[in-house]
Amino acid sequence: MRYLWLGAGGLSLKRARDAPQGGESEVLVRVRLAGICGTDLELVKGYYGFRGVPGHEFVGEILECRQDPDRVGQRVVGEINLGCGECEACRKGLKTHCPQRDVLGITRDGAFSNYLGLPAENLIPVPHEMSDRRAVFCEPVAAALHILDDVKIDQASRVVLIGAGRLGQLIAQVLHLTGCSLSVVARHSSQVELLASQGIRVGDEDEAGAFDVVVDATGHPSGLELACRLVRPRGTIVVKSTFHGPAEVNLSQLVVDEIRIVGSRCGSMRHAILVLEGSRIDTESLVDSVFPLEQGIEAFQRASQPGVFKVLLDCRI
Ligand SMILES: [Zn+2]
Ligand SMILES: [Zn+2]
């Protein structure tokens, strides 16, 4: 089998002679497609100090499932958080906040491999009509949708999104579906063109203190600074960026203006499948290129270029 390995010296392609076995409690999945996201690029830079196989956005097929052999051959996407099942967070259904959680491709070996293992309950079936190229977007679409779990956004809301990269584009489309008044701060011409083709307004960087909700998806500390400038008093800043190192903010301004800051991470994969099935969210325009896993290092180089959207890895070859 082949896989990408993140070690002390960076990312490398490795080979092992044997395919892994599915365990008693885990299901063996053959990975079909996997997506490279901003978090993967940050992991390579040292975010979380992870050593192992990265990759948490994938679609694959079940190869071995001892608990339910009928599921063999099923096409699936995966909930990436694994909880202990016993703590208070897990009992409340919040395994994303289990203190002992394991996260695919972030704390445990992930999807940039021919094979991966996950518990059966984490594997969600993909509808027959949905292509692999669309299903591989479930994880970031779930992350985009999760904003709406925590913040009320409707037709009356003035919303600005800062950052229109691979996750930002999906967030823009999800916010656009709510009917809110949305504008996006985008840096690259490819980002602006794609937003314009979807009827999403670009600009409004100068309207200080004008927005009910500001979403930061820049993946960069500067995003929060701009968010603080654009949000109105008693407004909400949603932080979607994860990056290596701290960010500087003027806390006094946040206190005086009574700003709410909401951190936002993973969402429901089942919900994402329903939305991808039933909406016109455009994922195809976001596919920049597909590299075989064998050329995974080149794929990462491509994904780290400015203005490049989703680079996919075909993990079968
Ligand atoms: Zn991601
Ligand atoms: Zn737990």
Per residue in 115-167, pLDDT tens?
A: 999 999 999 999 999 999 999 999 999 999 999 999 999 999 999 999 999 99
Ligand nearest to the CA of 90: 2
Q: Residue 167: which H helix or E strand, with range?
A: helix 166-177
Burial of 244 (0-12, 13-18, 19+ CB in 10 A): middle
Q: Which residues on adjacent β-strands are paired with residue 311?
A: 36, 289
Q: Which two tokens stand for residue 295?
A: 């050329």
CA nearest to 28, candidates 59, 58, 64: 64
- Residues 303 and 317: their CA atoms lie apart, in Å, by 19
118 C-alpha to ligand 2 centroid (Å): 16
79 C-alpha to ligand 2 centroid (Å): 15
80 C-alpha to ligand 2 centroid (Å): 14
240 C-alpha to ligand 2 centroid (Å): 23
Contact residues for 279 (Cβ-Cβ < 8 A; gap 6+): 177
Ligand nearest to the CA of 219: 1
19 C-alpha to ligand 2 centroid (Å): 30
CA nearest to 54, candidates 71, 32, 39: 39
**pLDDT range class, residue 101, cuts 50, 70, 90:** very high
302 C-alpha to ligand 1 centroid (Å): 16
* For residue 184, pLDDT beyond 70: yes
Q: Which two tokens stand for residue 139?
A: 């994880």
Ligand nearest to the CA of 142: 1
106 C-alpha to ligand 2 centroid (Å): 17
The residue type at 175: L
- Across the chain, what does the average pLDDT equal? 93
* For residue 309, pLDDT beyond 90: yes
Contact residues for 70 (Cβ-Cβ < 8 A; gap 6+): none
Ligand nearest to the CA of 241: 1
Q: Give the max Cα distance, the chain.
A: 61
- Provide mean pLDDT across the span 8-23: 83
What is the pLDDT, as a whole number, of residue 204?
A: 67
**Chain centre to alpha carbon of residue 275:** 15
Q: Measure Cα distances from 26 to 38, 134, 192, 271 in Å.
A: 27, 25, 43, 23
Place of tokens 């500001």: 214
Ligand nearest to the CA of 85: 2
70 C-alpha to ligand 2 centroid (Å): 28
Q: Note if the pTM is more than 0.85.
A: yes
226 C-alpha to ligand 2 centroid (Å): 36
What is the pLDDT, as a whole number, of residue 213?
A: 98
What is the pLDDT, as a whole number, of residue 268?
A: 94
Q: What one-character DSSP code corresponds to residue 95?
A: G
99 C-alpha to ligand 2 centroid (Å): 6
Ligand nearest to the CA of 100: 2
What is the pLDDT, as a whole number, of residue 139?
A: 97
* For residue 207, pLDDT beyond 90: no
97 C-alpha to ligand 2 centroid (Å): 7
Ligand nearest to the CA of 99: 2
5 C-alpha to ligand 2 centroid (Å): 27
